[in-house]
A and B are shown apart, each in its own frame.
Chain A
């Protein structure tokens, strides 16, 4: 069954602006991951945050995790046209470490 729900479903911004995507989930997790998928391509792992972490940075990416609210956010700063893609959150949990994906946010960065 689906675990994560991303919000918004679609986001359109201008180059240079920041983009924020949110993810909510339902059950306990080991970690939460964010992936990017360019049109017609495979998924690329961006960043992983463990359940005992609250914030993590990687380049222009900032991820937060609030386990009490079962939610996470992905912030992309100073966006570029090349950031145009679908972004998925995924939660890993259970004894078999199953990775369950949300429906994704389609981000469009206009030049």
Chain B
């Protein structure tokens, strides 16, 4: 059973398009996250939802909008894609404040051409 699953695994799209990445976790965790990993492998947190409530909203362009329909799902919608959005996007989940590590998905490699 996949604990944190993201779809799609690869996404190639043209500049200006709108795309979504979906994430689901079956671990019963109450908190989910989106991280962006750039070409130099630097990981930066973008958003975090705890029980469907946004608790972390880092400085990202407002073209990025997260949506959490329930605590097992956290989707990322990106409008008007730009070349600089090309990166690997990771979804993760955890049980907040319990002192355990995060469980990461396998990532979505987004390429904007």
Chain A contacts to B: CB under 8 angstroms: 2, 30-31, 33, 35, 37, 41-46, 48, 50, 86, 88, 96-101, 103-104
Known: A41-B106, A43-B90, A45-B103. A99 touches B41 (CB 8 A): no
Bound: A60/B94 CA distance, A: 25
Do most interface residues of chain A lie in helix, strand or loop, or is the interface mixed?
strand
* Complex interface: chain A residues within 8 A of B90 (CB): 42-43
A98, B31: Cα distance in complex, Å: 11
In the complex, what distance in Å separates the CA atom of A48 from the CA atom of B56?
22
A61 to chain B, nearest CB (A): 13
Bound-state CA distance A46–B45 (Å) is 19
Instruction: Find out whether the CB atom of B99 lies under 8 angstroms from the CB atom of A98.
Output: no
Sample of 18 A–B contacts (CB below 8 Å) = A2-B42, A31-B99, A35-B104, A42-B4, A42-B90, A42-B105, A42-B107, A43-B90, A45-B102, A46-B101, A48-B100, A48-B101, A50-B99, A96-B56, A97-B96, A98-B48, A101-B42, A103-B42
